[in-house]
A and B are shown apart, each in its own frame.
Chain A
């Protein structure tokens, strides 16, 4: 599948934003946030800015962005529509969380309840995003039990990294969030390795023989293509990446998205230059997860390309 940068941005940025929102709610509940009126509202705005930027990026992917509002209508059947609805309904409670916290301070039970609602809705949005991919039967690398949990894990991981950075910037000290980020990096990294193992061992979805209904004749081989240049289907769905490059990029993802942030989060948790460590960790997480998402598309194969012998 062709990796379109707008979609890669959408999924990684909303992961950061809604992951951060979820952790903010949890930390607020556990009393793990700085005793300041300002920290939480600022952090919520950062979270919503990430999520909002992702949503705006996704609009660029549309052929008719001015009609985007129509995408809210089919939530009964479409995960894309559900994603749109969920992302939007997350905003009011998130804003309420920030405003009430600012007005009433860290002891406001209503603020914390609103925060938990917003955090949960944010994760629901990420889940809907993941199901857009996980529900697509023609793409075996997406339509499997790894996709949805992976998206949730990556959102929680990137959100924790972002929270650790915000806390380090605010307090200049080591924080619990760095420990959470460390644990999340390890779990998310293992999940990604397990996903690659899984897709590498997966049999193809179908054969050209079943795609043409010619099973009983034995093996079927492509002879002539209908056209000698690429068409929409091949451009969009026939994207291929050489194994060699994929292997290199996988190594980069393991290093940049998971290993390095884990080490840096550990340093930050130990109080060794928490701000610098958290900042570098966040930058590499962003770069690493963007590459991870790029690979998630580039390595995905669409069954329709069988007709073209791909």
Chain B
């Protein structure tokens, strides 16, 4: 059913918190996402010309870099973008077949690849560009919030989190239940002022982004040295002070 479900009592609201303050833009989450999901629930995630001139393929997670603000307070912000598992996702309601659906019990938005007709309308309805079409299978694919990890009883409990969260080297990604005010994600959002992307479109994204901290670390001005002698001395100083 592509009508949105009434959330069940005690339903979870699972999603991610992405910390734009600590994300270093290393793409590890995107790579691990690709690695897990090309063998997971929506497998495979095809690649076209992976080693060719125009490599192209299905990825559920894409890492952008932006510049925000001007002057001394400006920031470089690394920005991972994936499905936000919206509470009011038009990608689901436009689907003519029922292939796209939002789960009652935890709010995860999924595609049933067995009945998708590949009309692509859901990707048009997503403001976040989160859905990518599998040209080979002729069906739509998207982030599953690693449904095959988070409930996977064959994995050690500590690993039952999305691949992107598990792999992030700077701990910029967090997974949890937003309906539980005591969960780590709820607390992070409250403490750090987590925000919605494009709230004006009314999709009510579940995933939240933590804005970069305003504080900046003062740095000493670079020493102004001149001449080769000075450069040699500095090099020596560097080597010796290791």
Q: Do A and B bind each other?
A: yes
**A interface list, Cβ under 8 A from B:** 1, 61-65, 67-68, 70-74, 76-81, 84, 132, 135-139, 205-206, 208-214, 216-227, 229-233, 236-237, 302-305, 307-308
Point out the residue from B67, B81, B123, B137 that lies within 8 Å of A307, measured CB to CB: B81
* Contact residues of B: prevailing secondary structure: loop
A229 touches B66 (CB 8 A): no
- Give me 23 A-to-B residue pairs in the complex whose CB atoms sit less than 8 angstroms apart, sorted by A's number: A63-B138, A67-B115, A67-B117, A70-B98, A72-B96, A73-B98, A74-B95, A77-B1, A77-B94, A78-B95, A136-B90, A137-B127, A137-B203, A138-B125, A138-B126, A206-B127, A210-B198, A211-B197, A212-B68, A212-B79, A214-B68, A217-B212, A222-B65
Given contacts A70-B115, A78-B93, A220-B77, 12 further A-B contacts (CB under 8 A): A70-B97, A71-B96, A71-B119, A76-B1, A137-B203, A138-B125, A138-B126, A210-B198, A217-B74, A217-B212, A232-B58, A307-B64
User: Contact string, B18-57, partner A, CB cutoff 8 A, digits 1/0?
Assistant: 0010000101001000000000000000000000001111
Q: A237-B123, A237-B124 are in contact. Are A226 and B98 (CB under 8 A)?
A: no
Q: Which residues from 83 to 118 on chain B have a C-beta closer than 8 Å to any C-beta of chain A?
A: 90, 92-99, 115-118
A residues in contact with B239, CB < 8 Å: none
Max chain B C-beta neighbours (<10 A), residue from A79, A81, A226, A302: A226
Assess the A226–B64 pair: CB atoms within 8 A.
yes
Distance between Cα atoms of A222 and B65 in the complex (Å): 6
Chain A residues with CB below 8 A from B121, complex form: 78, 80, 132
User: How many positions in chain B have a CB within 8 Å of any CB in the partner chain?
Assistant: 73
Q: Is B195 engaged at the interface, CB distance under 8 Å to the other chain?
A: yes
Q: Which residues in B have their C-beta under 8 angstroms from that of A221?
A: 66-68
CB-contact partner of A80 in B56, B94, B123, under 8 A: B94
User: Contacting A229 at CB < 8 Å: which of B55, B97, B134, B211?
Assistant: B55
A229 to B51, CA, bound (A): 12
Instruction: Kindly state the separation between the CA atoms of A135 and B63 in the bound complex, as whole angstroms.
Output: 29
Annotate B173-208 by CB proximity to A: 1 below 8 A, 0 otherwise: 000000000000000000000011111111100000
CB distance from A80 to the nearest CB of B (A): 4
Interface pair B198/A206, CB less than 8 Å apart = yes
B12 within 8 A of partner (CB) = no
- Asked whether, in the complex, the Cβ of B197 is within 8 Å of the Cβ of A212, the reply is yes
Alpha-carbon distance between A154 and B117 when the two chains are bound, in angstroms: 28
Q: Taking the nearest CB of chain B, how far is it from the CB of A136, in angstroms?
A: 6
Contact A303 B65 (CB under 8 A): no
Q: How far is the CA of A143 from the CA of B33 in the complex (A)?
A: 33
> How many whole Å from B200's CB to the nearest CB in chain A?
6
